Copies of this chain bind each other. A is one copy, B any other.
Amino acid sequence: MANIREIAKEAGVSVATVSRVLNGYPYVREEKRNAVWEAVEKLNYTKNINAVHLAKGKTSIIGVMLPYVNHPYFGAILEGISKEALRHRYHLLLFQTNYDVEKELEALEMMRMKQVDGLIICSHVAGWNVIEEYKEDGPIVLCENVGDKDFLSVYIDHYESFAKALRYLIRKGHRHIGYCIGRTTGTNSKARETAYYDTLRQIGVEPRKEWIFDHCLYVEDGKRVIHQWMDLSEKPSALLVSSDQVAAGIVLWGRKEGVKIPDDLAIVSFDNHPISEPLQITTMELPLALMGTKAFRLIYHYIETGNIVKKKEKLPVRFMERSSV
């Protein structure tokens, strides 16, 4: 595999000139420029990008940390990131963590080792103190509300949107309300939990632990939920569901069991995934792709200019009223 030195020899110029030509540096005499390109052609030369990375101390790669690659929630964020990365000729290195701290640390270490120029954290389990350790090593953007912590962040206010959905159910006459969530830890989940407790207590209703369904991520989890719900001696009349996938599962499996939506069970979901529309599920639209896009922009802008326009950005949600309540 030819290298820049061989090209230089072949073209009868120095390596510096080759480098200039290769990188479109303007002040090179026409004839030398042509000679270089000819040599490149003749020797079938290609840059070794690792050498470029080493010499420049930069890779134009952004790391993306997420628990699962094949879930519509993260898929949508990833899509947003990817679209914007494409525009700016950046590449994406995937760090699937399965919510394993070890894997998360590996992603962070990869930034320290200069494998990636920055890191977008879509979701995590590692504590703040752990992530803070890596702040010197490159820009980190989190897709969650980081509160007062000194991090870049693009987020959806899950407290607010959860509370809003809850108040909607309450307005519609519901008092017995449960919810389904992907996990119980994590910033977003905690925010929703707090919203749940706060809002119910405001109307003097005691929240019930057995009405909280954990590990709800996929369509099939909806099947489990509706069956558990049916087995409950005291049933909630409404459910807040953190994912349209799960809501679809609940609605569809519920139908097979003769559960009437919304009469037997009302549902408000989140995402506004296309599946929710024909199912007539009332849902809170989350701008996931936009969040990814903005996260990339934030990090990109920081890398390219060294400064920050807006440290934290809250994205608006949109309530899609349909007929599952």
Interface contact B61-A70, CB-CB below 8 Å: no
Interface contact B86-A78, CB-CB below 8 Å: no
Interface contact A75-B69, CB-CB below 8 Å: yes
Digit string of A230-256 for contact with B (CB within 8 Å is 1, else 0)? 000000000000000000110011011
Give the nearest-CB partner of A58 in chain B. B50
Q: Which residues of B contact A96 (CB under 8 A)?
A: 82-83, 86
Q: Is residue A94 contacting chain B, with contact meaning CB distance below 8 A?
A: yes
Interface contact A113-B54, CB-CB below 8 Å: no
Digit string of A243-282 for contact with B (CB within 8 Å is 1, else 0)? 0000011001101100000000000000001110111000
Q: Is residue A114 contacting chain B, with contact meaning CB distance below 8 A?
A: yes
Complex CA gap A86/B68 in Å reads: 12
Q: How many residues of A contact B (CB 8 A)?
A: 53
Q: Which of A9-17, A41-49, A168-176, A194-202 contacts B (4 or more CB under 8 A)?
A: A41-49
Say which residue of B76, B219, B278 sits within 8 Å of A274 (CB atoms). Answer: B219
Q: Is residue A59 contacting chain B, with contact meaning CB distance below 8 A?
A: yes
Q: Is residue A6 contacting chain B, with contact meaning CB distance below 8 A?
A: no
Q: Which residues of B contact A223 (CB under 8 A)?
A: 278
Q: Shortest beta-carbon distance, A59 to chain B, in Å?
A: 7
Main secondary structure of the interface of A (DSSP, over half): helix
Interface contact B274-A256, CB-CB below 8 Å: no
Complex CA gap A94/B114 in Å reads: 18
Q: Is residue A297 contacting chain B, with contact meaning CB distance below 8 A?
A: no
Give the nearest-CB partner of A251 in chain B. B278
Scan residues 216-231 of chain A and give those whose CB is less than 8 A from a CB of chain B: 218-220, 223
Q: Shortest beta-carbon distance, A96 to chain B, in Å?
A: 5
Give the nearest-CB partner of A249 in chain B. B278
Complex CA gap A103/B82 in Å reads: 13
Complex CA gap A114/B115 in Å reads: 14
Could you name 13 residue pairs across A and B whose Cβ atoms are closer than 8 Å? A46-B112, A49-B113, A50-B115, A51-B54, A54-B54, A69-B79, A91-B95, A93-B93, A93-B94, A219-B278, A220-B274, A223-B278, A256-B278
Residues of A whose CB lies within 8 Å of any CB of B are 46-51, 53-54, 59, 61, 68-72, 75-76, 78-79, 82-83, 86, 91-96, 98, 103, 109-110, 112-115, 218-220, 223, 248-249, 252-253, 255-256, 273-275, 277-279, 289
10 new A-B pairs (CB below 8 Å) besides A50-B54, A71-B75? A49-B115, A50-B114, A54-B54, A69-B78, A91-B115, A93-B93, A219-B273, A219-B278, A220-B274, A252-B275
